[in-house]
Chains A and B, each alone.
Chain A
């Protein structure tokens, strides 16, 4: 089995300068400066198979972008091993980047002043794509992303959603087997998001393209990725299937009770003290939310309904968003 990405004990450290306060401090900074070493990525290891779609998630500053930049050859690692598409990204940069596509959601890859198709033509040359391959591949991409009508417009005239679709197409001009997407859906509306997800799935199926995706939008991950790698303070805290993550962490349900009269938390706790229930105040008055395990659900509802007068009951599953939040809040790793 060959892997698209192989990372072993990868580490990246930055020197971070801190300034002394005040004028005298600033003057002293002219001659000597305080700095400390910050470990942005801390000895992480993982492997990604060809054709996998992996969600790479973490809070701001967890080290996602730094990892991606090392995987794409932009940054040199402090230590550790990175093999991507069988190459060391930084050592053989120019040869290596030929085999990857990169989209930075917050940064344009296209030339601001010229028409989209001119950018495409330039990139086609840069990536040495033959006319035949370009035609065969890009016609399909352009059609699926529905950017045909945008091609003769300069990039600065495009809306964010239009630009993002063009960015994606630009990253695929050389039909790379591996695609890095850094927050590709940031700031986009739902329709564009859906279109982009649809497209990524299609590419993945058609060409067996490996996709590594960072995002803050969990619905992206749910729609696309079977596997997630979760990062916290530069370390991997979870690496496995999204399914399992949900099972381990999200097996519980939330039951929202809307009571007719006022009920206190103590009353509810004493009512259900033989069961594992966590009570939390709801947003409306007289409303309480019970976090319970699935098997206890019926019993809890039974007890509450028998004891108090109820206006409304609502049962929800824990969303991935909440699962992730819980993990970060508790900071515990469950394999």
Chain B
């Protein structure tokens, strides 16, 4: 209860700050849109030269991409702490966070939230609707709930991976430049995993399980029955990876060395 009220308190502060810099908001929307467009263009160009990708059609791939954008946008709005190392460890902001009576990760997530990224989710829904209508997909009333469940699962997978990566800063003096590269790897979860060889499929499923933010949950909506098991594993993987992240975080905070002086 307390955490929910804190959440709304931060949210209202956030909105006040954002409304002060309206021009920024526009730039951010545009750069988000650009990011979404780049990936869509890739798919469109590629399918200008081929009809099928390992038995998956263009519209199916586009549908997966649309689905991916939804959990990704929720992740980007709340858990996107790629600059954790620079902002909190190097500059010592972590000191301040640790002197407040709220869980440190929760505080940082609230301080770094970027609600404008949620717009990407809307783009995702539009893309899904477009691809879905071309594929004549059948929807049931309960699919809405399954969709929400999968989106949450996917979000937690993403959040778990990136929080775990952020905790490396507690152990090592690494700069955070691996984070941007990680976004690239995230992209590969959007293609049918059976195109990859065993090693990469294994990595995308169990190590950096980005496939659970793209192809696996989408397979359910696309009616690919052979992948259903993986589809329904999505929320489980989300919870497991998020728990691992929190565990690593708590262990990391104990190792925190403080900044400079």
By a beta-carbon cutoff of 8 Å, the part of chain A in contact with chain B is 14, 17, 60, 65-66, 69, 72-76, 90, 93-95, 97-98, 100, 102, 104, 106-109, 111, 113-114, 118, 121-123, 125-128
Q: Check A73 against B101 for contact (C-beta < 8 Å).
A: no
- B interface residues, Cβ below 8 angstroms from A: 2, 5-6, 9-10, 13, 16-17, 20, 92-96, 98-103, 173, 254-258, 261
- Among B6, B173, B258, the residue within 8 A (CB) of A126 is B6
A260 shortest CB reach to chain B, Å: 50
User: A123 vs B99: C-alpha distance in the bound complex, in angstroms?
Assistant: 12
CB neighbours (8 Å) of A121 from chain B are: 9
Contact status B13-A114, CB under 8 Å: yes
Q: Verify A73–B257 contact, CB threshold 8 A.
A: no
Whether A90 touches B96, Cβ cut-off 8 Å, given contacts A65-B261, A125-B6, is no
CA gap between A325 and B96 in the complex, in Å: 32
Q: Is the CB of A14 within 8 A of B257?
A: yes
Smallest CB separation, B158 vs chain A (Å): 26
Measured between beta carbons, the chain A residues less than 8 angstroms from B99 are 72-74, 97, 100, 102, 109
Residue among B99, B254, B256 with the most chain A CB within 10 A?
Answer: B99
Instruction: Please give the distance in Å from B26's CB to the nearest CB on chain A.
Output: 18
Bound together, the chains give a CA A123 to CA B9 distance in angstroms of 10
- B233–chain A nearest beta-carbon distance, Å: 33
Which chain B residue shows the least CB distance to A75?
B258
Q: Is the CB of B96 within 8 A of A126?
A: no
Can you add 8 more A-B contacts, CB < 8 Å, to A65-B258, A114-B13, A114-B17?
Answer: A60-B261, A65-B261, A69-B258, A74-B258, A76-B256, A97-B98, A122-B10, A125-B5
Task: Report whether A107 and B98 are in contact in the complex, using a CB–CB cutoff of 8 Å.
Answer: no
B255 CB, nearest partner CB in chain A, Å: 8
How far, in Å, is B1 (CB) from chain A's closest CB? 11
From A17, A109, A113, A121, residue with most partner B Cβ within 10 Å: A113
Residues from chain A with a CB closer than 8 A to the CB of B10 are 122
Kindly identify which residue among A107, A113, A122, A123 contacts B95, using a CB–CB cutoff of 8 Å.
A107
Q: For B6, B9, B94, B255, which residue has the most chain A Cβ atoms within 10 angstroms?
A: B9
User: Does B20 contact A113, Cβ atoms closer than 8 Å?
Assistant: yes
Q: Is the CB of B95 within 8 A of A127?
A: no
Q: With a CB–CB cut-off of 8 A, which chain A residues contact B6? A: 125-126
Residues on A with C-beta less than 8 A from B95 are: 69, 74, 104, 107
Q: Which residues of B contact A126 (CB under 8 A)?
A: 6, 9, 100-102
Inter-subunit contact B101/A109 (CB<8 Å): no
Q: Are A127 and B101 in contact (CB under 8 A)?
A: yes
Q: In the complex, A14 Cα to B100 Cα: how many Å?
A: 24
Nearest B residue to A98 via CB reads B101
Which residue of B has the minimal Cβ distance to A112? B17
Question: Could you tell me if B9 and A122 are in contact, using CB atoms closer than 8 angstroms?
Answer: yes
Q: Which residues of A contact B94 (CB under 8 A)?
A: 74
Residues of A within 8 A of B258 (CB): 65-66, 69, 74-75
Contact A128 B257 (CB under 8 A): no
Task: Identify which of B5, B13, B93, B98 contacts A93 (C-beta below 8 A).
Answer: B98
Of B9, B98, B102, the residue contacting A74 (CB under 8 A) is: B98
Q: Which residue of B lies closest to A124 (CB)?
A: B9
**Given contacts A76-B254, A107-B92, A113-B20, are A97 and B13 in contact (CB under 8 A)?**
no
Q: Using Cβ atoms and an 8 Å threshold, which residues of chain A touch B254?
A: 76, 90
How many Å from the CB of A115 to the closest CB on chain B? 8
Question: CA of A53 to CA of B212 in the docked complex: distance in angstroms?
Answer: 57
Would B256 and A118 count as touching, CB distance under 8 A?
no
B257 & A113 in contact (Cβ 8 Å cutoff): no
Complex Cα distance, B92 from A75, in Å, reads 12
Which residue on chain A has the smallest CB distance to residue B18? A113
Report if A94-B103 is in contact (Cβ < 8 Å); known contacts: A104-B95, A107-B92, A114-B17: yes
Q: Which chain B residue lies CB-closest to A90?
A: B254
Q: How far is the CA of A89 from the CA of B103 in the complex (A)?
A: 14
Q: Can you give 30 contacting A-B residue pairs, CB < 8 Å?
A: A17-B173, A60-B261, A65-B258, A65-B261, A66-B258, A69-B95, A74-B98, A74-B256, A75-B257, A93-B98, A94-B101, A97-B99, A97-B101, A100-B99, A102-B99, A104-B96, A106-B261, A107-B93, A107-B96, A108-B96, A111-B17, A114-B13, A121-B9, A122-B9, A122-B13, A125-B5, A125-B6, A126-B9, A126-B102, A128-B101
Specify which chain B residues have a CB less than 8 angstroms from the CB of A60 in the assembled complex: 261
State A141–B177 Cα separation when bound (angstroms). Answer: 44
Docked complex Cα distance between A75 and B254 (Å): 7
**How many whole Å from B7's CB to the nearest CB in chain A?**
10
Whether the Cβ atoms of A75 and B256 lie closer than 8 Å is yes
Complex A-B, nearest 5 residue pairs according to Cβ-Cβ distance, in ascending order: A98-B101, A102-B99, A125-B9, A74-B98, A97-B101
How close is A329's CB to chain B, nearest CB, in angstroms? 23
Q: Are B257 and A118 in contact (CB under 8 A)?
A: no
Tell me if A94 and B102 are in contact (CB < 8 A).
yes
Q: How far is the CB of A150 from chain B (nearest CB, A)?
A: 17
Tell me, in angstroms, the Cα distance from A127 to B98 when the chains sit together.
13
CA–CA, A118 to B20, complex, Å?
Answer: 14
Residue from the set B6, B98, B102, B173 with the largest chain A CB neighbour count within 10 Å: B98
How far apart are A295's CB and chain B's nearest CB, in angstroms?
A: 44
